[in-house]
């Protein structure tokens, strides 16, 4: 098929990106989405004719970490092309105009593409005291989210703050920060929690939409199952050490140097659903456990309170106390050694299992003492 005017296909030709590099990108996307390899050509065909989708990227109570993550979008020659299939019409950190000219960029898109633009929201939305804790152009951020997300094709909530209020919504925070779902319930919302989210998951979500005309399957909390359907612990390259009882006991000790399991240093991988070990960060360079520090569970609901203290070991890691079966452990091991290669049927079976486990894992009551949990002192019972 001849790529059409203004499409990604045409841009690829214009930028002398080889067809092979493009197809490689499409295969990587299929893998990230846990689709069988035969979907890669379908993705390629869809992207060939895709038109640029308008995007309004809103920032509320944020640190711009997801924006920075977005800038690290990692597929070398194709990354900026992926950005070019979007038309990022409003993004405070990147856009040229300021003040009313900036606001015009936003309202133009809302008006010209009703129901046809994607809203991306980064940061919490404070609802206390009429929204005075985040004002933009004299308006409450909440009113902007209501307007922009209310009229969007879909909203992608990037990062944990936009997912459930995140850091400003943690115990002790006075602003009553909430996530997008609490502001525009009933709208199509894709949640990509993480602190910040992994940009690979954002790219894959958008590619899925451009390819199939729908957003990827999500769990009951709006998280795509391709990214949040599996326990991190089941994909971790240190898992064999966990199973063998080989643990890091101090920073820089022999186990730490040999890459042993970080469970006893507080790793939250056994209770965290995320694909960090397989997609990793920064062009697949690394992820926290690979570098030597435990997972802090940043993709999980209310993780600032539920997963801290970060250095206190979990009392109840799956594999010892809950229902992870041997064949699931075996599958996860295959997943870990083959990286992004996913065996479709088996993987979706495992995903369905894990999604259930995920919903159970997060149904623990939120809360804890006001002002944050007590310091650890490592008072929990030993398990291993």
> Which string of b and e fits 279-289 if b means at least 16 CB within 10 Å?
bbbeeeeebbb
Cβ distance to other proteins smaller for residue 56 or 357? 56
Residue found under tokens 């996530």? 179
Interacting residue with other proteins among 42, 45, 187, 256 (CB under 8 A): 256
Binding residue for other proteins (CB under 8 A) from 131, 270, 317, 318?
131
Rounded CA-CA distance 331/348 in Å is 11
Residue 239 as a binder of ligand SF4 (CB under 6 A): the answer is yes
Among 242, 281, 287, 310, binds ligand SF4 (CB under 6 A): 242
Q: Is 228 in the site for ligand SF4 (CB under 6 A)?
A: no
Using an 8 Å Cβ cutoff, are 183 and 145 in contact? yes
Q: Give the range of 41-49, 284-292, 331-339, 349-357 binding other proteins by CB under 8 A.
A: 284-292
Residue 151 CB, nearest distance to other proteins (Å)? 18
Return the bridge partners of 155, or none.
119, 189
Mark 9-28 with x for binding to other proteins (rule: CB under 8 A) and - for no binding: -xx--xxx------------
Q: Which of 36, 150, 339, 372 binds other proteins (CB under 8 A)?
A: 372
Angle at 247 between CA 375 and CA 253, to 5 degrees: 85
Q: By CB under 6 A, what part of segment 273-312 binds ligand SF4? A: 289, 294-295
Query: In angstroms, rounded to a whole number, what is the distance separating the alpha carbons of residues 355 and 357?
Result: 5
CB 194 within 8 A of CB 281: no
- Here the tokens at position 61 are 């109570």
> Do residues 252 and 258 make contact, with C-beta atoms less than 8 angstroms apart?
no
Instruction: State yes or no: residue 363 binds other proteins (CB under 8 A).
Output: no
Q: Does 269 bind ligand SF4 (CB under 6 A)?
A: yes
Distance of CA 185 to the CA centre of its chain: 20
Determine the interface stretch with other proteins among 21-29, 163-171, 211-219, 339-347 (rule: CB under 8 A).
163-171
Q: What angle do CA 345, 348, 352 make, to 5 degrees?
A: 140
Interface with other proteins, residue 111, by CB under 8 A: no
Among 324, 331, 334, smallest CA distance to 354 is for 324
CB of 242 or CB of 304, closer to ligand SF4: 242
Query: How many other C-beta atoms are found inside a 10 Å radius of the C-beta of residue 111?
Result: 9
- The residue range among 28-36, 57-65, 205-213, 218-226 that interacts with other proteins, by the rule CB under 8 A, is 57-65
What whole-number distance in Å separates Cα of residue 35 and Cα of residue 41? 12
The span of 24-32, 125-133, 145-153, 346-354 binding other proteins (CB under 8 A) equals: 125-133
233 belongs to the binding site for ligand SF4 (CB under 6 A): yes
| Total interface residues for other proteins by CB under 8 A | 112
**Which partner, ligand SF4, other proteins, none, binds residue 366 by CB below 5 to 8 Å per kind?**
none
CB closer to ligand SF4, 121 vs 295: 295
Identified binder of ligand SF4 from the candidate list 44, 195, 232, 296, rule CB under 6 A:
232
Binding segment for ligand SF4 (CB under 6 A), chosen from 79-87, 103-111, 231-239, 372-380, is 231-239
* Closer by beta carbon to other proteins, 213 or else 377: 377
Using CB under 8 A as the binding rule, whether residue 124 contacts other proteins is answered as: yes
Tell which phi-psi region holds residue 252, choosing left (phi > 0), alpha (psi between -120 and 50) or beta.
Answer: left
Residues contacting 342, CB < 8 A, separation 6+? 31, 34, 335
Nearest to residue 373, comparing CAs of 315, 289, 311? 311
């Amino acid at each position: 098929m001849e790529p059409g005017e203004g499409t990604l296909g045409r841009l690829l030709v214009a930028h002398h990106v080889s067809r092979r590099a493009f197809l490689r990108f499409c295969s990587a996307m299929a893998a990230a989405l846990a689709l069988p390899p035969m979907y890669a050509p379908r993705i390629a065909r869809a992207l060939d004719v895709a038109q640029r989708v308008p995007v309004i990227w809103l920032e509320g109570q944020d640190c711009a970490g997801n924006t920075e993550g977005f800038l690290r979008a990692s597929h070398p020659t194709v990354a900026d092309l992926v950005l070019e299939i979007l038309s990022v019409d409003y993004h405070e950190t990147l856009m040229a105009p300021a003040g009313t000219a900036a606001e015009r960029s936003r309202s133009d898109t809302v008006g010209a593409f009703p129901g046809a633009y994607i809203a991306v929201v980064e940061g919490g939305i404070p609802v206390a005291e009429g929204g005075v804790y985040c004002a933009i152009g004299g308006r409450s951020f909440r009113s902007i989210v209501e307007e922009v997300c209310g009229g969007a094709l879909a909203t992608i909530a990037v990062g944990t703050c936009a997912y459930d209020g995140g850091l400003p919504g943690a115990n002790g925070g006075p602003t009553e920060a909430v996530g997008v779902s609490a502001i525009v319930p009933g709208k199509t919302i894709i949640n990509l929690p993480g602190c910040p989210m992994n940009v690979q998951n954002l790219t894959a979500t958008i590619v899925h939409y451009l390819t199939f005309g729908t957003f990827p399957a999500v769990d009951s909390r709006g998280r795509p199952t391709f990214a949040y359907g599996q326990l991190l612990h089941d994909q971790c390259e240190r898992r064999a050490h966990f199973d063998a009882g080989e643990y890091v006991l101090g920073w820089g000790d022999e186990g730490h140097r040999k890459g042993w399991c970080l469970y006893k240093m507080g790793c939250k991988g056994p209770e965290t659903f995320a694909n960090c070990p397989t997609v990793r960060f920064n062009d697949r360079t690394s992820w926290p456990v690979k570098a030597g520090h435990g997972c802090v569970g940043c993709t999980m609901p209310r993780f600032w309170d539920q997963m801290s203290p970060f250095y206190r070991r979990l009392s109840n890691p799956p594999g010892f106390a809950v229902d992870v079966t041997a064949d699931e452990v075996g599958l996860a091991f295959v997943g870990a050694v083959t990286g992004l290669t996913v065996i479709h049927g088996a993987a979706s079976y495992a995903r369905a299992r894990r999604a259930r486990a995920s919903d159970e894992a997060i149904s623990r009551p939120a809360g804890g003492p006001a002002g944050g949990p007590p310091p650890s002192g490592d008072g929990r019972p030993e398990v291993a």
